[in-house]
């Protein structure tokens, strides 16, 4: 497509396949999450549903910039797009949400608390900021084993997580160790219902990057091409030895904290502002305008991904749920002398 | 030549670093400085890049260790004082302890907690945290009371695939000496009969084992009482079989600990003996712990805050006279 080639040159260094990967992951994640939302409302989900609507651009840009099998990615609750771009199969998601025993957490943990740590994707705990030091430790291990070259570790947080002690300790530690790590802060204006003015008093969260000694990058989280460019650059810098990087993406969460939350606390004028733009809708326009794709191709992707989502949901729904009588109820992997320690 | 308790910890770490390339040490002031208690003295020079100073960030220290363990390492984290592990509590009980159950991937970290009171240390450098961590599924909690156990249980802790909280008693660091390290091969999870007896059982752990033995010696002199002392060695999992076997011999139980009195290891021991061995008891079981205040600073107050041979003897006399 000559038009696309032409348009691509308007953005220096933005690889066509990479941008298309970012967008495809965003689209697939949105379709999956729309389905999860419907399933939640129909009472088919075990536990809560937490969506990344409005945050897909920055999340997918991170996931698509990382290489599964070499890099480390610790997603948080709004990173379905990043997970998909990184290479997490959809079935891991649907199994975990729908309570299939065949999922990576076997019903022992649910929804977004899933991962495959041995494949470079730690499973998040609910305590915010706690993954920063864990990814740091994974990178420390790689360094001690002489396997760090070319590796990047990354994690995502929201504006709320930047207020935790764990975040501060972790970011400071990775800076002291000069680890090849990228922290993506999605400033989505609300931590659950708490607005940013009750969360922090610095002018811009990006100032924190400088305070910690990290490279800092601001990006408009509603702009897919900008996210692809800025996040891609931050990952490249970390990979090339420029030390840890922080990306702050400004955007608005376009859903509630979870699907139980109607987000009525978000003022209408904010929803109608630039921050409230839907990065996916915006991305469709951008991809078409800049020749990365066509309306027809995007429709085709949409149809294919809808089928893929449907298949992943149907498969998980047909699978067995955990059986308490076959659960081994063991929290330790080894058996210190006396064996099972149940009173 | 003799070996102190802290020497044993140092030597165990030296052996681990020498024998196992997966092992590294992380903690505050542990590198060139050798640690607040010199438990890592000289190791940074001997093993460059493997004995690392951390920032004063207990949460990140444990998070880092968990990450390294996921990647196949065997980190040993030194908390400068057990008390400061409260800052790392979240990473220990929510990240490390849940990891195997949630993901199927074990995290073999060892967290060294310099524990317990010493005169003049006060409320924030004296705590015993074993009960807190034992409460959580997914952790192994050990409390060595002897020089040889300090050595062998640290080796065993690192060998274990699960997170181990290794509570080392600061009072024993230099006071407790042995001619040499001479282990009896007891694994983690097995208690030891430190002193055999037949009239009453004292179940103790960590530094309180030595106070129990002193009290037992006095009662032997005083009235010919033969007090059996059981050293739990590991508080999670609890070797209740050895405890019950002892109570079966003596019919009387005193559970002794230095930690605060509400709940905790002594309560667990009494509860299990009552539940599983009520018929073995000839007297109501007793507990003796510290007083229910923060650990006081002044040596006179401190000495009366924790159980002493005197208070242990009083408790045992009451137990024996029932």
Please tell me chain A's helix, strand, coil percentages from 3-state DSSP, rounded to the nearest 5. 45, 10, 45
> For every residue of chain B, which 3-state class applies, written as one string?
CCEEHHHHHHHHHHHHHHHCCCEEEEECCCCCCCCCCCCCCCHHHHCCCCEEECCCCHHHHHHHHHHHHHCCCEEEEECCCHHHHHCCHHHHHHHHHHHHHHHCCCCCCEEEEEECCCCCCCCCCCCCCHHHHHCCCCCEEECCCCHHHHHHHHHHHHHCCCCEEEEEECCHHHHCEECCCCCCCCCCCCCEEEECCCCEEEEECCCHHHHHHHHHHHHHHHHCCCEEEEECCEEECCCHHHHHHHHHHHCCEEEECCCCCCCHHHHHHHHHHHHHHHHHCCCCCEEECCCCCCCCCCHHHHHHHCCCHHHHHHHHHHHHHC
User: For chain B, what percent of residues have pLDDT higher than 90?
Assistant: 99
pLDDT band at B183 (very low <50, low <70, confident <90, very high): confident
CB-CB neighbors (< 8 A) of B188 in chain A: 336-337
Question: Is A43 touching B (CB cutoff 8 A)?
Answer: no
Residue B180 CB burial class (10 angstroms; 0-12, 13-18, ≥19): exposed
Over residues B145-157, mean pLDDT: 98
Nearest CB to B190; choose among A123, A125, A337: A337
Distance from CA of A74 to the nearest CA of B (A): 11
Task: Report pLDDT for B1.
Answer: 79
Query: Measured between beta carbons, which residues in chain B are less than 8 angstroms from residue A138?
Result: 67-68, 70-71
Model ipTM value: 0.96
- What would you measure as the largest C-alpha separation in chain A, in angstroms? 72
| Structural domain contains residue A314 | yes
- Is A256 part of any domain? yes
What is the token pair recorded at A68? 């599964």
Q: Give A164-185 pLDDT, tens digit per residue.
A: 999 999 999 999 999 999 999 9
First and final CA of chain A: distance in angstroms?
Answer: 70
Q: Which residue among B24, B95, B190 sits closest to A134, beta carbon to beta carbon?
A: B95
Tens-place pLDDT, residues B64-83: 999 999 999 999 999 999 99
Distances (CA, A) of A259 to A17, A265, A267, B148, B202: 33, 14, 18, 56, 55
- The reply to whether residue B71 touches residue A125, judged by beta carbons under 8 angstroms, is no
Catalytically annotated residue among B125, B169, B199, B210: B125
Cβ pairs bridging A and B (under 8 Å): 172
Cβ-based contacts of B237 with chain A (< 8 Å) = 336-341
- In the prediction, which pLDDT does A12 show? 45
| Largest CA-CA distance found in chain B, in angstroms, rounded | 60
DSSP secondary structure code for residue A198 in this structure:
G
B66: nearest CB among A118, A134, A338: A134
Question: How many domains is chain A partitioned into structurally?
Answer: 1
- Please give the pLDDT value at position A338: 56
In this predicted structure, what is the pLDDT of residue A335? Answer: 80
- Nearest CB to A144: which of B24, B65, B237? B24
The distance of B214 to chain A (nearest Cα, Å) reads: 29
pLDDT digits (tens, 9 = 90+) for B248-264: 999 999 999 999 999 99
Q: Range of A200's domain?
A: 2-318
For the cut 50, the answer to whether the pLDDT of residue B119 exceeds it is yes
Domains observed in chain B: 3-178 (3.40.50.970), 192-321 (3.40.50.920)
Q: At A21, list the tokens.
A: 């990967």
- B184 close to A (CB below 8 A): no
Which of A301-310, B55-64, B179-188 shows the lowest mean pLDDT across its residues? B179-188
Query: How much is the average pLDDT of B43-68?
Result: 98
A279 assigned to some structural domain = yes
The predicted-structure confidence for B273-299, as pLDDT tens digits, reads as follows: 999 999 999 999 999 999 999 999 999
Do A169 and B60 make contact, defined as CB atoms within 8 angstroms? yes
The verdict on residue A337 lying in a domain is: no
pLDDT mean over B155-178: 98
- Domain contains A339: no
Report CB contact under 8 Å: A336, B187: yes
Domain assignment of residue A335, yes or no = no
Does the annotation mark B125 as catalytic? Answer: yes
What CATH number has the domain bearing residue A304? 3.40.50.970
Return the pLDDT at A336.
Answer: 76
Segments in chain A below pLDDT 50: 1-10, 12, 339-343
């Amino acid at each position: 497509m000559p038009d696309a080639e032409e348009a691509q040159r308007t953005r220096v260094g933005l690889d066509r396949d990479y941008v298309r990967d970012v967008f495809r992951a965003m689209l697939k994640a949105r379709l999956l999450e729309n389905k999860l939302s419907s399933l939640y409302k129909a009472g088919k989900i075990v536990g809560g549903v937490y969506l990344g609507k409005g945050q897909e651009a920055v999340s997918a840009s991170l996931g698509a910039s990382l290489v599964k099998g070499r890099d480390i990615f610790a997603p948080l609750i709004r990173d379905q797009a990043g997970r998909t771009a990184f290479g997490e199969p959809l079935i891991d998601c649907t199994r975990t949400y729908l309570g299939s025993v065949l999922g990576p957490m076997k019903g022992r943990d649910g929804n977004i608390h899933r991962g495959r740590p041995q494949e470079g994707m730690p499973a998040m705990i609910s305590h915010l900021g706690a993954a920063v030091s864990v990814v740091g430790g994974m990178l420390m291990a790689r360094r001690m084993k002489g396997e760090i070259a070319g590796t990047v570790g990354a994690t995502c947080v929201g504006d709320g997580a930047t207020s935790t002690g764990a975040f501060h300790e972790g970011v400071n530690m990775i800076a002291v160790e000069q680890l090849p790590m990228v922290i993506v802060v999605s400033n989505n204006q609300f931590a659950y219902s708490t607005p940013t003015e009750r969360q922090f008093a610095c002018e811009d969260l990006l100032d924190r990057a400088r305070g910690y000694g990290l490279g800092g990058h601001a990006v408009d989280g509603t702009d897919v091409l900008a996210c692809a460019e800025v996040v891609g650059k931050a990952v490249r810098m970390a990979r090339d030895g420029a030390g840890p990087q922080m990306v702050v993406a400004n955007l608005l969460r376009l859903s509630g904290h979870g699907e139980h939350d109607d987000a009525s606390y978000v003022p209408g004028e904010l929803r109608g502002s630039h921050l409230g733009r839907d990065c996916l809708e915006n991305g469709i326009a951008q991809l078409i305008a800049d020749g990365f794709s066509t309306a027809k191709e995007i429709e085709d992707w949409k149809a294919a991904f809808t089928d893929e989502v449907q298949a992943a949901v149907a498969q998980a729904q047909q699978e067995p749920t955990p059986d308490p009588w076959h659960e081994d109820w063991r929290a330790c992997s080894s058996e210190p002398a006396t064996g099972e320690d149940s009173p | 030549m003799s070996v102190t308790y802290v020497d044993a910890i140092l030597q165990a770490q030296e052996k681990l670093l020498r024998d196992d390339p997966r092992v590294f040490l992380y903690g505050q002031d542990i590198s060139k400085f050798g640690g607040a208690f010199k438990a890592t003295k000289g190791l940074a020079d001997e093993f460059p890049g493997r004995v690392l100073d951390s920032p004063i960030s207990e949460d990140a220290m444990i998070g880092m260790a968990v990450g390294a363990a996921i990647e196949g390492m065997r980190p040993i984290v030194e908390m400068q004082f057990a008390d400061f592990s409260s800052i790392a509590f979240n990473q220990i009980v929510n990240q490390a302890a849940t990891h195997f159950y949630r993901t199927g991937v074990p995290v073999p970290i060892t967290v060294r907690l310099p524990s317990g009171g010493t005169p003049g240390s006060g409320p924030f450098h004296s705590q015993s945290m074993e009960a807190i961590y034992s409460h959580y599924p997914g952790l192994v909690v050990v409390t060595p009371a002897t020089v040889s156990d300090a050595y062998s249980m640290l080796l065993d802790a690192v060998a274990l695939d699960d997170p181990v909280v290794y509570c080392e008693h600061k009072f024993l660091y230099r006071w407790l000496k042995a001619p040499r390290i001479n282990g009896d091969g007891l694994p983690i999870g097995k208690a030891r009969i430190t002193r055999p007896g037949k009239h009453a059982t004292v179940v103790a752990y960590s530094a309180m084992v030595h106070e129990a033995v002193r009290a037992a010696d006095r009662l032997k002199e005083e009235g010919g009482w033969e007090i059996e002392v059981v050293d739990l060695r590991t508080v999670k999992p609890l070797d209740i079989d050895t405890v019950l076997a002892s109570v079966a011999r003596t019919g009387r139980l005193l559970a002794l600990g230095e930690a605060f009195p509400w709940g905790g290891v002594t309560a667990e021991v009494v509860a299990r003996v009552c539940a599983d061995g009520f018929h073995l008891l000839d007297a109501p079981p007793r507990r003796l712990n510290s007083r229910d205040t923060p650990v006081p600073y002044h040596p006179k107050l401190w000495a009366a805050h924790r159980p002493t041979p005197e208070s242990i003897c009083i408790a045992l006399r009451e137990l024996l006279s029932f």
